[in-house]
Structure 1
Amino acid sequence: MDLCVLYLLLFLMGRNGLCQQEEVCTKSLVNSCGDCIRSGPYCVWCQQLNFTKPGEQEAVRCDTQARLIERGCQTEEIISPRNDVSVVKADPLSDAFNQKEPVQLSPQKINLELRPGLPSKFTVSFKRVEGYPVDLYYLMDLSYSMKDDLENVKELGQDLFVALSKITQFAQIGFGAFVDKTVLPYTNTNKEKLQKPCDENDNYCQAAFGYRHVLSMTPKREEFRDEVTKQFISGNLDSPEGSLDAMMQAVVCGDKIGWRNSSTRLIVLTTDAGFHMAGDGKLAGILEPNDEQCHMENNLYTKSIDMDYPSVGQLAMQLEKNNIQPIFAVTKNVENVYKELSKMIPKSEVGVLSADSKNVVGLIESAYNRLSSKVTLTHDNLPENVRVVYTPKCNHAQQSGDSEGVCDNVKVGEEISFDVEVTAKSCMEGKTFTIRPLGIRDTLTVTLSTNCKCPCDDPNKIDKIDHPHCKGKGKVHCGICSCNEGFIGQFCECAIGDKDERTLRASCQRPNGTECEGRGDCVCGRCICHTTESGNSYHGNLCECDDEHCEKFENQLCGGHGRCNCGTCECDPGYEGSACQCKVSKELCLTPNNTVCYGRGRCECNRCLCKEGYQHPRCQKCLGCPDACQTKQNCIECLGFELGPFKKNCSLQCSKSIYHEMVDQLPEQSKKCRQKDPENCWITFVLEQLVGEDNYKAEILKQRDCPEPPNVVAIIAGSVASVILIGLLLLMLLKLLFYMKDLKEFKKFENEKKKSKWAEADNPLFQDATTTVQNPTFTGE
């Protein structure tokens, strides 16, 4: 029940325009209904009498329908030309090919009458016809390195026809060969080498040539086998070959090749080398550009040595124009080269040949299936200022830009459709363009004209009688008075020559200003503006505006993609910038998470204009911004641990700017923040800035790193030990000082002792002690 109510509300919102793009009418110079209609797709005109107040500009009659109704205009009095789609021819889609021109695309002709700027949609249907004919042109490189491959191709005809018979019973095959231009430095121009460019021991070798058409389209297997059997290898000097020369001639020489009008056209190019392209001819002094014309005589390309190679763009254009789809069957060594070439050529495929080319039939078959099952709808000869957008309606839809729509894996007999939206940006008459599937002959011709006039502008519908609304002195034209000669004013209320000019002129100027800015005449209290030197008119209530002094880009006003309105460029849809110089694109502004400039800037001209401090290219990093670890610390404290100055109003201060998670372990490679909280603990967290300026995701480590409480016993014991140790050290220091002092005094004493003279003299008062000992038995003998 709740879900149903939700759907109903969404439906009503859509009906009321709440889910739709807002309609805007941008007016510049509007003096009539026609001016209004040309101002924009949502501008409409109110022809109701008495809609404007006396003295009010008639331009107020031009606005969006909603605003005019809001101002009091009746719905039936609103003039608003709409789009008209008319299907002229819509033959039914065919189921199978039966020798009659099949119809794979419907409708075939449409007439569009569009309001400028207002898009119009129609549907195009497509169905793959069963058994649709196939024309396959086998274009082979006959340079000497392809010698072994040629022998296998000679036995290829039977297998090719068998493979094509699975697709259609109306198959044809042709054959052509190429080498390169027969001039230096591509080919040895020695006379003998031109006649026999192969190895001396090789008896089967044909003369050097650029491109030779061998066999026109034929349904006969024997004829294909016989003609290919007659072919021999040739040779040249450099590795790149004249592939593009050969392909261009095979495309533009349709009558010689034998392409049928109603067929799927394929060119199978087999080679083991790269290709020369436009500009390479300068190496041989060939300066004449390729003219994209057929130059075949006696099945040989006659302009090979006179005309440069075609460019890839030229070849791609001719392939598309002639509905031909190339299949590049190449060896592994040049696969990447031809894949890059395939990107530049719509509806082309690349397959890798085996060393002896025996897998070429299966390669062609799978490439054909991929090409034929992919339907790409696009257009040709699109008029200027016309935009076409395709929306595929199928099981495997692909959107590859506005200029084409793609449906892949389309089966035979399956009907698909495309919504086509066409928008004309300016007024035009009788323009035509073609819509068609790439590689298929069926087309839809669109004839386009625009509706830039109001019905009331028809001279036959203008009231011929003087109307009371115009004071009986004029006629009504689209709700506006067209005054008779001698009368002017919004309601023809002023006769030329009124005497109260001072009051009337006062309304035509600013205080102390010039009347009508010097760009117009004040008539009956209203400014009638002059024209500029280029013929355009000044406009505005006081003629203050002109549409010539806007910014230029590439020497074009508003870059050629907008209009100048009173000095400001109003850009066409799809363009932006002060001079409409840029296509609207956000490709280079998109971030990996699919936001624009990370929400820290705006995208203009496909470039981020970052807010102050944030750096290019996508405003991801901020230079000079405060460290988020410090600025967000208070929020981390209150969100994670209910601490800090924000803990009383944490949700108010922080919940809108930080989304947080408490984790047991932080990511390894992230930049971690480590801050001290009020309890002197370390908080560790990781901040990731999300989209926007002040929007973060925080991962906070649950465990804080807090210091351990003090050990009193250890402190006391340490203090006592410290005191004792200090006392001992002091005693030792004092002992050392006393010792040093005594030592100094002793040395001083010794020095003085050495200097004293009396120390060496005898004391006259001193007598040595004398002891005489006699032996009584000694006789003296």
Structure 2
Amino acid sequence: MDQCLVFLLLLLMGRNGLCQQEEVCSKSVINSCDDCIRSGPYCVWCKQLDFTKAGEQEAARCDTKAQLIERGCKMEEIISPQNDKTIDKADPLSTSFTQQEPVQLSPQKISLRLRPGLSTTFRVSFKRVQGYPVDLYYLMDLSYSMKDDLENVKELGQDLFAALNKITEHAQIGFGAFVDKTVLPYTNTNKEKLLKPCDEDYQQCQAAFGYRHVLSMTPRKDEFKRKVTEQFISGNLDSPEGSLDAMMQAAVCGDKIGWRNSSTRLIVLTTDAGFHMAGDGKLAGILEPNDERCHMENNLYTQSTEVDYPSVGQLALQLEKNNIQPIFAVTKNVEVVYKQLSKMIPKSEVGVLSSDSKNVVQLIESAYNRLSSKVTVTHDNLPENVRVFYTPKCKHAGPAGESEGVCDNVYTGEEIYFDITVIAGACMKNKSFTIRPLGIKDTLTVTLSTDCECQCKDPLDSSHPHCKDKGRVSCGICNCNEGFVGQFCECSIGNKDELSMRASCQRHNGTDCEGRGDCVCGRCQCHTTESGSSYHGDFCECDDEHCEKFQNKLCGGNGKCNCGTCECNPGYEGSACQCRVSEEGCRTPNNTVCYGRGTCKCNRCECKEGYQRPRCQTCLGCPDTCQTKLSCIECLGFGSGHCSENCSKSIHHEMVDQFTIQSKECKQKDSEGCWIKFKLDQLVGEDNYRGEILKQRECPEPPSVIAIIGGSIASVAFIGILLLMLIKLLIHMKDLKEFKKFENEKKKSKWAEADNPLFQNATTTVANPTFTGE
């Protein structure tokens, strides 16, 4: 579908397009058959008298053919205008060139009558005639840098004619020259420099000029040589030249150049410099845009200093209009510039000249072969809201496209074809456009009209029984006579019971027809919705558009929307009819559906609260079954505890022939404090178990009072002693810490050993004579 997206609008609902579109009718406001067929290419109208129901909008007659037939419209009662094409002129293709006008494209005239939006395709054939005439106009840059090239061109006449005679016996050559506008800053306007713009040492120099036509088309090579020999080099100031000026005049001055009506027209432009284009003239104060008209007097371009250079678009338009194919023979330094120019000019080629232009004949011959072997078909003057698409049918076809069709490597005498698809997007009458191969005179004129009115062939009588003899039938609907209204003209205007009839159109004393229709003759005639379908119901309370969609299709394409609800076709289900009826995806290993804990919808289990997909086997967040089923096990197994009414339903003691989903062993304390060990088998269904007691209850022995009292006293005494020992230990540790602190302080003390400065020795010492010293 990649290419289909590119041409989606072009081939919208086209039978012959690349994309096969689904036939749909996008209705808007439909009041008649004409409105219907203008709504889309697949909208058709049912004119069957009894097709619509009472009160139903006549817009229901407008739909696709398949939908109308399905609703009961007979095939012969369907109005569906089809495309029609008539070939008005188709002369056979010529096999070789004669003096008469050769035919290379067929047909030449075709008339199309189209349904708006519906495409039609026709085929055109093309064959290049053997020996078709060639007109070659040699347009040379005569600025000073081309002086060596001019000397070689003067000797080219015989070689050029020899090369052209290989192609055709009917060849002609013309010659023209150009430099640039003779104003500053392009040319030195000093009087002496205008007369001799070349270097002072170069004697053979002609006065400055913009463009000069030298030789009209001639089949005589001696005349070509003589005229070219008379030419001398000229000069200018800046590098770019006035080549576009010269090409424009050569294209629009056909009578002076001598272009023949039936010929391949070539302009060979030789230069070693770039070109000036539109806007550059402002540098010289030239503000007048190029008018694309011929201004030649005495073979000289007279408006060179008055009007600006042409734009590339203007030049391309005139070259295409006059079937002229340019060959740019340029030097290597400007090859890139002219290749970019060639991309903007259809049917043009670029070749690289040698430094002295000696290879120009081979260059022209190669470029001509490339041009003539490439056939490009396009159109002119395309009317608004008309689109054309080309599909080439040849060995070397280019990609299909809207603007042109291309076949390459086409040899002379080979017949090729183009399938041309035309689509008219709106109503029109007698519009025409032209299809033609680029560079070739042959054309195909397409005249286009559209069918936008129904031809129903109604009876001429003004009173028809279907309309209660109060109106006539027009394409199946009643056009009432003056003073009567209603679907069948059954009511007269000004009826006295109008108020009571209006009340019958109101539901719960609300608005008339819920604001979605008109009350006519006591019945609602419902309006159409935004998409073109009708509201319906006694009070227009329903529509068939607001149902759930699947894959962007209303009711998945597998059902019908009826008043907001999908009514699925047999074999489909789901809120949007998106699923086939099947339970394969919901089947469990024991061949149940969702283990009895849910329903199968759209081949998937919709589980009850808590149970988990895919097949509702496990329950997430459900309470522990060992705990919840304990009371029932105790009640049913031992006759104690609380016994609810659901115990006998949810717990089975006998063997039950059902598939076990999973088993679980439990050990719980009952209401009497006894341990019960039991097994629960989870069965199919919700809250359905099989219980089995694994062993008798284990109840604990009653406690000993003496042992409890003795143990309590011993415990208290032990704890008291332990606390006293702990207190004693803490006191001892505190005293030990204080003692260590004292010892540390003692070690840190330092006693002074210096003499006391206040102390004086005794002046007299008296010894005891009796002291023995012992």
Indicate whether the TM-score tops 0.5. yes
Q: Which amino acid letter does the alignment assign opposite residue 490 of structure 2? A: E
Counterpart of 1:57 in structure 2 is 57
Counterpart of 1:394 in structure 2 is 394
Q: Of residues 465, 468, 472 in structure 1, which corresponds to 2:469?
A: 472
Cα gap change, 1:18/1:226 in structure 2, threshold over 3 Å: closer, same or farther?
Answer: closer
Q: Give 3-state SS (helix, strand or coil) of 1:212's partner.
A: strand
Q: Which amino acid letter does the alignment assign opposite residue 93 of structure 1? A: L
- Work out whether 1:489 is the aligned partner of 2:486: yes
Instruction: State how far apart, in whole Å, the 1-side matches of 2:756 and 2:493 are.
Output: 149
Counterpart of 1:541 in structure 2 is 527
Deviation, 1:483, is 2.0
Q: Give 3-state SS (helix, strand or coil) of 2:28's partner.
A: coil
Contact 2:89–2:108 (CA under 8 A) maintained in structure 1: yes
Counterpart of 1:232 in structure 2 is 232
Contact 1:245–1:310 (CA under 8 A) maintained in structure 2: yes
- Work out whether 1:70 is the aligned partner of 2:70: yes
Q: How does 1:550-699 map to 2 (within 5 A)?
A: none
Q: String of CA shifts for 1:581-603, please: whole Å, max 9, x gaps.
A: xxxxxxxxxxxxxxxxxxxxxxx
Instruction: State how far apart, in whole Å, the 1-side matches of 2:531 and 2:431 are.
Output: 34
Instruction: State how far apart, in whole Å, the 2-side matches of 1:766 and 1:264 are.
Output: 166
Deviation, 1:542, is 8.3
Q: Which amino acid letter does the alignment assign opposite residue 352 of structure 1? A: V
- Work out whether 1:297 is the aligned partner of 2:297: yes
Instruction: State how far apart, in whole Å, the 2-side matches of 1:19 and 1:272 are.
Output: 50
Deviation, 1:515, is 6.2
Q: Which amino acid letter does the alignment assign opposite residue 464 of structure 1? A: D
Q: Which amino acid letter does the alignment assign opposite residue 136 of structure 2? A: L
Instruction: For structure 2, list consecutive stretches of 5 or more residues without a partner in the other structure.
Output: 1-13, 533-613, 615-741, 769-774
Q: Give 3-state SS (helix, strand or coil) of 1:420's partner.
A: strand
Instruction: State how far apart, in whole Å, the 2-side matches of 1:332 and 1:429 are.
Output: 53
Instruction: State how far apart, in whole Å, the 1-side matches of 2:37 and 2:224 are.
Output: 64
Q: How does 1:122-161 map to 2 (within 5 A)?
A: 122-161=122-161
Deviation, 1:495, is 1.8
Q: Give 3-state SS (helix, strand or coil) of 2:137's partner.
A: strand
Q: Which amino acid letter does the alignment assign opposite residue 358 of structure 1? A: K
Instruction: State how far apart, in whole Å, the 2-side matches of 1:516 and 1:542 are.
Output: 13
Q: Which amino acid letter does the alignment assign opposite residue 455 of structure 1? A: Q
Cα gap change, 1:401/1:234 in structure 2, threshold over 3 Å: closer, same or farther?
Answer: same
Q: Which amino acid letter does the alignment assign opposite residue 476 of structure 1? A: V
Q: String of CA shifts for 1:610-645, please: whole Å, max 9, x gaps.
A: xxxxxxxxxxxxxxxxxxxxxxxxxxxxxxxxxxxx
Counterpart of 1:500 in structure 2 is 497
Q: Give 3-state SS (helix, strand or coil) of 1:227's partner.
A: helix
Counterpart of 1:243 in structure 2 is 243
Q: Which amino acid letter does the alignment assign opposite residue 430 of structure 2? A: G
Let me know the Cα RMSD of the aligned residues. 3.2
Q: Which amino acid letter does the alignment assign opposite residue 501 of structure 1? A: E
Counterpart of 1:374 in structure 2 is 374
Deviation, 1:18, is 14
Counterpart of 1:186 in structure 2 is 186
Q: Which amino acid letter does the alignment assign opposite residue 484 of structure 2? A: F
Q: In percent, how many aligned pairs have the same letter? A: 76
Cα gap change, 1:33/1:754 in structure 2, threshold over 3 Å: closer, same or farther?
Answer: same
Counterpart of 2:720 in structure 1 is none
Q: How does 1:415-494 map to 2 (within 5 A)?
A: 415-456=415-456, 461-464=458-461, 466-494=463-491
Counterpart of 1:752 in structure 2 is 751
Q: String of CA shifts for 1:528-558, please: whole Å, max 9, x gaps.
A: 9xxxxxxxxxxx8289999xxxxxxxxxxxx
Higher CA-based Rg? 2
Q: Give 3-state SS (helix, strand or coil) of 1:370's partner.
A: helix
Instruction: State how far apart, in whole Å, the 2-side matches of 1:241 and 1:54 are.
Output: 81
Contact 1:398–1:408 (CA under 8 A) maintained in structure 2: yes
Q: Give 3-state SS (helix, strand or coil) of 2:167's partner.
A: coil
Contact 1:516–1:542 (CA under 8 A) maintained in structure 2: no
Contact 1:463–1:477 (CA under 8 A) maintained in structure 2: no
Q: String of CA shifts for 1:81-110, please: whole Å, max 9, x gaps.
A: 000011111111112112221111111110
Instruction: State how far apart, in whole Å, the 2-side matches of 1:354 and 1:370 are.
Output: 20
Deviation, 1:383, is 0.7
Q: Which amino acid letter does the alignment assign opposite residue 494 of structure 2? A: G
Q: Which amino acid letter does the alignment assign opposite residue 754 of structure 1? A: E
After alignment, is 467-476 or 88-97 more displaced? 467-476
Q: How does 1:300-339 map to 2 (within 5 A)?
A: 300-339=300-339
Q: String of CA shifts for 1:8-37, please: whole Å, max 9, x gaps.
A: xxxxxx99x999311111122211111111
- Work out whether 1:524 is the aligned partner of 2:521: yes
Cα gap change, 1:100/1:753 in structure 2, threshold over 3 Å: closer, same or farther?
Answer: same
Counterpart of 2:168 in structure 1 is 168
Cα gap change, 1:108/1:544 in structure 2, threshold over 3 Å: closer, same or farther?
Answer: closer
Counterpart of 1:686 in structure 2 is none
Q: String of CA shifts for 1:353-398, please: whole Å, max 9, x gaps.
A: 1111111111111111111111111000111110000011111111
Instruction: State how far apart, in whole Å, the 2-side matches of 1:306 and 1:447 are.
Output: 41
Instruction: State how far apart, in whole Å, the 1-side matches of 2:512 and 2:519 are.
Output: 7
Q: Which amino acid letter does the alignment assign opposite residue 492 of structure 2? A: A
Instruction: For structure 1, list consecutive stretches of 5 or more residues without a partner in the other structure.
Output: 1-13, 529-539, 547-648, 650-740, 768-781
Contact 1:517–1:542 (CA under 8 A) maintained in structure 2: no
Contact 2:194–2:207 (CA under 8 A) maintained in structure 1: yes
Q: String of CA shifts for 1:680-727, please: whole Å, max 9, x gaps.
A: xxxxxxxxxxxxxxxxxxxxxxxxxxxxxxxxxxxxxxxxxxxxxxxx
Instruction: State how far apart, in whole Å, the 2-side matches of 1:766 and 1:337 are.
Output: 141
Q: Give 3-state SS (helix, strand or coil) of 2:398's partner.
A: strand
Q: Give 3-state SS (helix, strand or coil) of 1:338's partner.
A: helix
Cα gap change, 1:18/1:156 in structure 2, threshold over 3 Å: closer, same or farther?
Answer: closer
Q: Which amino acid letter does the alignment assign opposite residue 329 of structure 2? A: A
Q: String of CA shifts for 1:559-579, please: whole Å, max 9, x gaps.
A: xxxxxxxxxxxxxxxxxxxxx
TM norm structure 1: 0.65
Deviation, 1:517, is 10
- Work out whether 1:409 is the aligned partner of 2:415: no
Instruction: State how far apart, in whole Å, the 1-side matches of 2:744 and 2:514 are.
Output: 112
Cα gap change, 1:34/1:445 in structure 2, threshold over 3 Å: closer, same or farther?
Answer: same
